[in-house]
Amino acid sequence: MRITDSTLADQLSGDLESQQATITNLNEELSSGNALQQPSDNPVAVADTMSYNRQVAQAASDQTSASYAQSLLGIGNQTANQVINTLQSVNTTVLQALNSGAQNTTSYNALAQQVQGEISTLVGLANTQYGSTAIFSGTAAVAQPYSSSGAYSGNSQAFTIKVGSGAPIACSVPGDQLFGGGTSGVQSVFTTLQNIVTHLQQGPGSASTSSLQSDMTALTANLTQAESAATTLGESTQQVTAASTAASNTSTQVQKILATTESTDVPTVTAALQSDLTTYQAALYAVSQTVPETLAQFLK
């Protein structure tokens, strides 16, 4: 084939242009640290990256929800344990009234006052809040689900938090499942304690003894319910922890994959850039040597 000036010029300038384009791309990849600048760079990897990013965001969101749920459950658990301790202490008080021979009206009144104090403690516990939300109101938005007399204004639906793709996890027990009353089928703990106070105030005697004994049965039922509520909260805590760990593992795994898909492979790109630069310089030298060299050069 005849090689004319424009053949040579077209070919050389075309080669230089394509080398410059490659070098620009590699430079951009190196300086941004991203192998994927735009969807056309690698459509499949870009779609994968978008999907991985979503998984990472979802996992982070799950972890945030899980952490909120854990705080809520932590406070719930702590409060339930305090409720159990308080009820056990009332139990001891009543046993004291029933068993000691040396009781009189004064000591009964003192015990009644003690139980009255426990009622206030329990009302305080029943109105425990996390942030500005009462944690024992079910899903009712009330700041104080329990009145000072122990009347319940919450509902019996558990507040749930969804962590991950599984079913929502109950993150609090509605008040009536911890304190009785409502639709729970167990006498309200406040009624039980108020009865104990009333019966203690009657002073020692066969009537009060019999009443206090039946109060003991009711109190045992309240204790059993509170323990079962604490167990429920404990189980939820385990579920939340499991879901949070799963989210954290997903996040770690996906981020690893993401790093290999999305990030620049620095050694490979650097080597490629080095080699392209060398080729480019060689091409430039070739152009500088070839273009001016014609026969006309030697005509003097």
Partner 1 sequence: MSDLTLQIAASGIEADEAELDTAAQNLSNVSTPGYAQEIVNLANNTPSATTGVGQGVTITSVSEGSSSLYDQLNLVSQGQLGAANESASIQSLAQNAFPEPSTTGLSSQLSQLWTDLSTLATQPSSTAAQGAVVQDASQVAQTLNGSYSQLSDVAQQLSNDFEGEGTTNGGYVGQANQLINQIASLNGSILAGQNGGSNVNSLVDQRREAVDQLGTLLGVRTTTEANGTMTVTSGGIQLVSSTNAVDLQATGSATSGDLSIETTAGDILPAGGQIGAILTGVNTTIPTYQSQLSTVADSLATSLNTLQANGVSASGVPGATSASGAPPYAGAFLPSIFVNNSSATTYTTGAGSAASIAVNPSLLADPSLIATASGSSTAGTATIDPTTAQAMAAVGQSSSGPDDLYQSLVSLVGAQTSAANNDQSSAQALSDSTTAQLSGVEGVDTNQATVSMLSAQQDYQAVAAVINSATTALNALLEAM
Please choose, out of 8-16, 100-108, 203-211, 241-249, the segment that lies near partner 1 by the rule CB under 8 A: 8-16
Rounded to 10 deg, the angle between the 266-290 and 5-32 helix axes is 160
Does 133 bind partner 1 (CB under 8 A)? Our answer is: yes
Q: DSSP class of residue 103?
A: -
Q: Considering only residues 95 through 114, tell me which ones interact with partner 1, judged by CB under 8 A.
A: none
Which residue is associated with the tokens 């945030």?
Answer: 64
- Which of 47, 95, 282, 286 touches partner 1 (CB under 8 A)? 47
- Which of 12, 27, 41, 257 touches partner 1 (CB under 8 A)? 41
CB of 21 to partner 1, least distance (A): 10
- Which of 92, 157, 281, 288 touches partner 1 (CB under 8 A)? 157
Q: Considering only residues 225 through 264, tell me which ones interact with partner 1, judged by CB under 8 A.
A: 262
Cβ nearer to partner 1, comparing 65 with 86: 65
Report the alpha-carbon distance of residue 237 to residue 234 in Å, rounded: 5
- List the x/- string, 187-226, binding to partner 1 by CB under 8 A: ----------------------------------------
CB of 225 to partner 1, least distance (A): 23
Helix/strand/coil for 36: coil
Answer whether 171's CB lies under 8 Å from 161's CB: yes
Cβ nearer to partner 1, comparing 164 with 204: 164
Please choose, out of 53-61, 97-105, 234-242, 277-285, the segment that lies near partner 1 by the rule CB under 8 A: 53-61
22-48 b/e (C-beta count within 10 Å ≥ 16 → b)? bbebbeebbeeeebbeeeeebeebbeb
> Going by C-beta distance under 8 Å and a sequence separation of 6 or more, which residues neighbour residue 256?
none
- Which of 20, 24, 64, 105 touches partner 1 (CB under 8 A)? 64
CB of 129 to partner 1, least distance (A): 12
CB of 139 to partner 1, least distance (A): 4
Q: One-letter amino acid identity for 127?
A: N
Report the alpha-carbon distance of residue 158 to residue 172 in Å, rounded: 6
Does 53 bind partner 1 (CB under 8 A)? Our answer is: yes
Q: DSSP class of residue 180?
A: -
Answer whether 284's CB lies under 8 Å from 16's CB: yes
- Bridge pairing between strands 133-134 and 160-161: unpaired
In 157-205, where does DSSP find H-type helix? 175-179, 189-201
- Which of 26, 29, 65, 94 touches partner 1 (CB under 8 A)? 65
Cβ nearer to partner 1, comparing 58 with 78: 58
Q: DSSP class of residue 185?
A: S
> Going by C-beta distance under 8 Å and a sequence separation of 6 or more, which residues neighbour residue 229?
80, 173, 177, 178
Residues engaged in binding partner 1 (CB under 8 A): 1-7, 9-11, 14, 34, 36, 38-44, 46-47, 49-51, 53-54, 57-58, 60-62, 64-65, 68-69, 131, 133, 137, 139-142, 157, 159-162, 165, 168, 262, 294-296, 299
